[in-house]
Amino acid sequence: MGKTLLQKVWDAHAVRILPTGQTQLFIGLHLIHEVTTPQAFDALRARGWKVSRPDRTFGTVDHIVPTRERNRPFLDLLAEDMITALEKNCHDFGIRLAGLGDDRQGIVHVIGPELGLTQPGMTIACGDSHTSTHGAFGAVAFGIGTSQVRDVLASQCLAIEPLKVRRIKVDGVLPRGVYAKDVILAIIQKLGVGGGVGYAYEYAGSAIDRMSMDERMTICNMSIEGGARVGYVNPDQTTFDYLKGRPFAPEGEAFERAKAWWASMASDADARYDDEVVIRAEELTPLVTWGVNPGQSIGVGGRIPSVDASLPDQQAVADALAYMGLEGGKPIAGMRVDVAFIGSCTNSRLSDLREAARIVKGRHVAPHVKGLVVPGSVAVKRAAEREGLDEIFRTAGFEWRDAGCSMCLGMNPDKLVGDQVCATSSNRNFKGRQGSPTGRTLLMSPAMVAAAAVAGEVVDVRELSAEVAAGAI
Amino acid sequence: MDALRITHVEGTALPMRGEDVDTDRIMPARFLRAVTFEGLEQHVFEDERSGSVAGDRAKEQHPFDNPQYAGASILLVNRNFGCGSSREHAPQGLRRWGIRAVVGESFSEIFFGNSVMIGLPCVTVSPDELHELMERVEERPSAVLRIDLTAGTCEIDGFTCAIGLPAAARDALVTGAWDTTGLLLARYEEVNAVAATLPYVAGF
């Protein structure tokens, strides 16, 4: 009987079974940022512990950093305090930090892969639930809380319970205008926001096999929105090609040896899965969320659900409609948007920006819309500027910002105001998520956000991109 | 470790109805802008409680504002409680507010783990039993709920049901080993031995 990648990685990293029955798992890479670590470092100091493996720990700043006017000290004094604390902690404990002003700074889940820190067969932990992103490389990556950050800092280990594996096969060819974002939104819609609890999601099938690393990262990123703490794709030639030449990837003969080991960690053909789900790529359409969790989505051509007393869980529908100020039965297309945000660890990589730029080129953001493009890292920003994407966005009326998490969670000055509606390429449409307690979020692909920004309302990107393809502009 | 042992939780309860309550609701992100967890109890569910725009728009009083439940130490919740962000600030806020255990239909994995690590047991009961518990508490908010982690039961006014709690979490709580760092450091030579077998640690 073959093994899954999850089992192989687990077996390779298991130190022992703890008296509680949990597994003590060695963590190959610990990524840290300013928001979920200061209390953990304080705990280390209080107990006189050091950081066990500073060589396997890497820090950056992303959650709270401003995306403009980044001169120190920041106008935002709380942000200044948190950044200063991380700088001091990394300095005191000997941890590498891609801080502000560093060419490597960016969203932690963008820079790990970009720098080649993230590699197949590794265990990875970070105090952020979107750590599942790194699974795109065939790593097993856990989002953890601050007490667990303390554990990993002090011992380079986690005490954790085994997971089941659900293979999600996406077979076939994605229709035009349907992106990785739509695939993962469709998976969450089908399996539910709690459907993955207790599971790791293994994404497979011909549609996933053909995807770029950027696209695989988008899929794995939102595993947690389906309740699965871990999501991964088996490493293949696409993975190896991406890693070759990255700053922290092995070089020369070591790269060849690495490749052999990475390939050996992929799930065996006869591996046994605890569950399996098949999705036909051809049946997917561009999706938009209408509610207050990422499972509440419909096709852009669809109608907003109504409360149907014959179905279960209708209180949640009623509650979401009330919060969103929506009427059931109406089309989602045509819903007015106030803000368009292209960014976040889900969709802020170069390919995302290219796709959005392709839609907005030669067009302009609607007069009532505030458009914001926040590249995922300094490197993404510079690469985009080399291609002139910044000019396309600026000319179209978007603001072009510096790298950070920004309006995905509104911990810095980039926030919604009042009841604003935001078309966003980020990952969560929870109540109040984007910084205004009554703000409203519509999740969609970056291309759909670009289309909504131009139209000033939710619109099917395929209508706009047909014009692009036909050279109408 | 004896001081850390949690075998029973007893107190009045606070029912909070609704599925998929996420940690952004429990603790909005702006309250994560601090280098300590101190004072988080003041901000639990702040954006939907009285005094907030959404709270003032709501037809019903938020359970955390309801004086009938003042002093409650056990939170009753529905399915997939604590989903979303991994912020430990959510269970930290609840615990500092006075919550000592959460009883629900199910929990998000990260929230569950974060809670156990700060000595806040999250136990499950069936949807029907939860419904019964909530109704009884709503009927008589002064009723005392008793959770026995060792026996695996919870009881209120003569109504008893079995609780679900994974064996590892139960053992950690009842033996006081929920603060795991010491355990993980106990046999550190074994950690080094495993690291030495991993080709990437040596740079291939």
Residue B143 belongs to domain with CATH number: 3.20.19.10
Kindly tell me if the per-residue pLDDT of B1 is higher than 80: no
Interface test mutation site (partner A, options B62, B89, B109, max chain A beta carbons within 10 A)? B109
Residue B194 resides in a domain: no
pLDDT at residue A20 tops 90:
no
Q: Is residue B49 part of a domain?
A: yes
Mean pLDDT confidence for A200-209: 98
* Count: domains in chain B: 1
Is residue A331 pLDDT above 80, yes or no?
Answer: yes
DSSP B143: P
Domain that holds residue B81: 2-177
Count how many pairs of residues, chain A against chain B, have C-beta atoms within 8 Å. 220
Per-residue model confidence as pLDDT tens digits over B45-101: 999 999 999 998 888 899 999 999 999 999 999 999 999 999 999 999 999 999 999
Report the residue of A25, A155, A346 to disrupt the B interface, i.e. the one with the largest count of B CBs within 10 Å. Answer: A155
| Residues B84, A430: C-beta atoms closer than 8 Å | yes
CB contact under 8 A, A151 and B181: yes
The pLDDT assigned to A466 comes to 66
Q: What is the pLDDT of residue B2?
A: 66
Distance from CA of B163 to the nearest CA of A (A): 18
Domains and CATH numbers, chain A: 5-264 (3.30.499.10), 286-469 (3.30.499.10)
> Among A89, A126, A84, which residue's Cα sits nearest to residue A107?
A126
pLDDT-based confidence at A313, cuts 50/70/90? confident
Is there a contact between A430 and B166 if contact means CB atoms under 8 Å apart? Answer: no
Interface test with A, best of B1, B25, B27, B35 (most A CBs within 10 A): B35
* A472 has pLDDT over 50: no
Residue A15 has its nearest CB partner, among B52, B194, B201, at B194
Per-residue pLDDT band at A312 (split at 50, 70, 90): confident
Type and span of the H or E element at B145: strand B144-148
Q: Tell me which chain B residues have a C-beta less than 8 angstroms from the C-beta of A323.
A: 54
Q: Looking at the predicted structure, is the pLDDT value of residue A295 above 80?
A: yes
A63 CB-contact burial (10 Å; exposed 0-12 / middle 13-18 / buried 19+): buried
| Single-letter residue type at B38 | E
Chain segment A171-198, per-residue pLDDT in tens: 999 999 999 999 999 999 999 999 999 9
Residue A473 pLDDT exceeds 70: no
At a CB cut-off of 8 Å and minimum separation 6, what does A309 contact? none
Which residues sit opposite A31 in a β-bridge? A58, A126
pLDDT digits (tens, 9 = 90+) for A228-246: 999 999 999 999 999 999 9
- The answer to whether residue B186 sits within a structural domain is no
* Residues A413-456 pLDDT 10s: 999 999 999 999 999 999 999 999 999 999 999 999 999 999 99
In a domain, B101, yes or no: yes
Inter-chain residue contact A197 with B167, CB threshold 8 Å: no
Mean pLDDT of A353-382: 98
Is the pLDDT reported for residue B178 higher than 90?
Answer: no
Between A69-83, A156-170, B140-154, B184-198, the lowest mean confidence (pLDDT) is in A69-83
CB nearest to A411's CB, from B33, B107, B108: B33
Is residue B67 reached through a cis peptide bond, with omega within 30 degrees of 0 on the bond before it?
A: no
Q: Do B187 and A428 touch (CB under 8 A)?
A: no
Question: Would you say residue B50 lies in a domain?
Answer: yes
Report the distance separating Cα A349 and Cα A60, nearest Å.
Answer: 17
Question: Which of A156, A159, A319 minimises the CB distance to B191?
Answer: A156
Q: Is residue B6 part of a domain?
A: yes
- Mean pLDDT in residue range A291-311: 95
Mean residue pLDDT of chain A comes to 96
